Structure 1
Amino acid sequence: MCRHLAYLGPDEPLGRLLVDPPHGLYRQSWAPRRQRHGTVNADGFGVGWYAAGDPAPARYRRTGPIWADPSFADLARVVRTGALLAAVRDATLPGADGEAAAAPFAAGRWLFSHNGAVAGWPQSAAPLVPGLPPVDLLSMEARTDSAFVWALVLHRLRADDDAGRALAETVREVAEAAPASRLNLLLTDGETIAATTWGDTLWYLAEPGRGTVVASEPYDDDPRWQEVPDRTLLAADRTGVRLTALKDQAPAPKEPCT
């Protein structure tokens, strides 16, 4: 499993969102409070962020634990952004893919992370392979279940599915092929966030005047954090959050950031 977080709002140092909170993603790498599978997220980490005037995000990824990288501490202190996606990783299986296996994965303006595991990987994914063009398989950044799920999502995005549909249909497709999979997906283009809950926790904080945070678990004890029910599609922007049950696609009212 993993822990991940996405943010949209006013420019903030990376550290204010990832390192400074008492239970931030930094601490979740060794002491998550709500993680249901696995205990330590020390198999790599990454952060992707957007700079004004450039639609393509920058990324910083490493193979080791986030706490063992002093360069990240410097970067997090001075780099500011109004949109980011970050993750700490607990590998499904051992592998030699290094930082290429660490989220966020990226293509164009998109950043993506997978918190979970494809059950029975890699054998269970075989029925899904014919649905991908060969070039998509050959372009996978890593030989992991998360990279494969990203390839499925990206194929739908390139076919002009919107972010929510791309995630929802990918979750259904993978869950049908591998029913015991855990598929909490997180996707942003720097202007919107889409996410799914399928087997693990997800929370959001719609903070008045500050935008929206979507995360595997709260990074502090602010009572305004809201838990997302399992089997749900979340869509968010800087003004609010919308929840849709994946089982019936019936939208819930949007909660404004006011």
Structure 2
Amino acid sequence: MCRHLAYLGPVRSLAELLTEPPHSLYRQSWTPTLNADGFGVGWYPPGDGAGPVRYRRAVPIWADANLPALAAVLRSGAVLAAVRSATPGTSLDESAAAPYTLGRWLFSHNGRVEQWRSLPEDLGVPLTAAQVLGMEAHTDSALLWLLAGRRLAAGEPPGYALAGVVRATAAARPAALLNLLLTDGRAIAATRHGHPLHYRRDAEAGSVTVASEPCTDDPDWHEVPEHSLLLAAPGTTEVTPL
């Protein structure tokens, strides 16, 4: 079971978001479950509209000796990060570590899809050999991102695109676990289908955090109901059934 997190709000160091909280994503890499098959961080540099930038490794997050120093000096007001527990039969190199990217989008998947290689055929979604070979990694998560990215490129709103992928995939693979997380640095879309998902808005700070598990002991974390879509920005959150 992977863990992931997205943050939008005032500019903060990556350390404040990923390593320093008492139940940080860093800590979630070994408790309550082990997520030792890589990690990744994507962020939008403040001020110039650039990004996203990614830093990904195929080692456990605690084994990267460079991360603490980098996280202390890198700052952003828009971040998506994940620690990975690999689905059997998928790539183990750093290309398989979320976040995946397309233009300004960052994407992560917490879950598992059995028999994912035949999923496009079962969904009736024609993929060319070039599209399959062009997938960033040989994983169920990369395939879900390809399917979601096609919808985004066709003009679907982010929440609609994620919800469509989850509904279609769940119909074809009823046992699939499909927590998806997406941001363009301005808003967050996320689905809960099979694993926990939480969010916290800090009205005073003007921030919102979406995470698999609460990262702090603050009492104002909210659990997203099962089989739901969450749309979030610093000033608003909306939860609707999938």
- Same fold, judged at TM 0.5 (above): yes
Which TM-score tier does this pair reach, normalised by the shorter chain? over 0.9
2:24 paired with 1:24: yes
Contact 1:119 1:179 (C-alpha < 8 Å) held by counterparts:
no
- The 2-side partners of 1:29 and 1:76 are apart by 16
Matched, 1:170 2:172: no
Q: Which stretch shows the higher mean deviation, 136-145 or 187-196? A: 136-145
Residues 39 and 60 of structure 2 are in contact (CA less than 8 Å); yes or no, is this contact kept in structure 1?
yes
Match of 1:233 among 221, 229, 232: 229
Q: For 2:196 and 2:214, how far apart are their aligned partners in 1? A: 10
Partners of 2:140 and 2:128 lie apart in 1 by 17
Aligned-pair RMSD on alpha carbons? 1.4
Structure 1 segment 60-99 matched on structure 2, within 5 A: 60-99=55-94
Which one of 37, 41, 62 corresponds to residue 35 of structure 2? 41
Q: CA deviation at 1:148?
A: 0.3
Tell me the SS of whatever aligns to 1:91: coil
Residues in 1 aligned to 2:174 and 2:237: alpha-carbon distance in whole angstroms: 28
For 1:54, what is the secondary structure of its paired residue? coil
Q: Is the 8 A contact 1:204 1:215 kept in 2?
A: yes
Corresponding position: 1:115 with 2:110: yes
Query: Where does residue 12 of structure 2 map in the other structure?
Result: 12
Indicate conservation of the 8 Å contact 1:125/1:177, yes or no.
no
For residues 245 and 95 of structure 1, the distance between their equivalents in structure 2, rounded to whole angstroms, comes to 30
Matched residue SS, 2:209: strand
Q: TM-score, normalised by structure 2?
A: 0.95
Structure 1, unpaired ranges of 5+: 33-38, 247-258
- Paired residue total: 240
C-alpha separation in 2, matches of 1:97 and 1:90: 10
CA distance in structure 2 between the aligned counterparts of 1:136 and 1:49, rounded to whole angstroms = 26
* Correspondence 1:137 to 2:120: no
| Residues 164-212 of structure 1 deviation map (CA, whole Å, 9 limit, x = unaligned) | 0110000011111111100000000000000000001000000123210
The CA deviation string for residues 18-56 of structure 1, in whole angstroms up to 9 with x for no partner, is 100111000000013xxxxxx310000000000122343
Aligned-residue sequence identity (percent) comes to 54
Q: Secondary structure at the match of 1:87?
A: strand
- Residues of 1 paired with 2:99 and 2:70: CA distance? 17
Q: Which runs of 5 or more structure 2 residues have no equivalent in the other structure?
A: none
Aligned partner of 1:255 in structure 2 is none
CA contact under 8 A between 2:90 and 2:140: conserved in structure 1?
no
Q: Is the 8 A contact 2:170 2:176 kept in 1?
A: yes
Matched, 1:146 2:141: yes
Whole-angstrom distance in 1 between the partners of 2:92 and 2:124 = 20
Q: Report the counterpart of residue 191 of structure 2 in structure 1.
A: 196
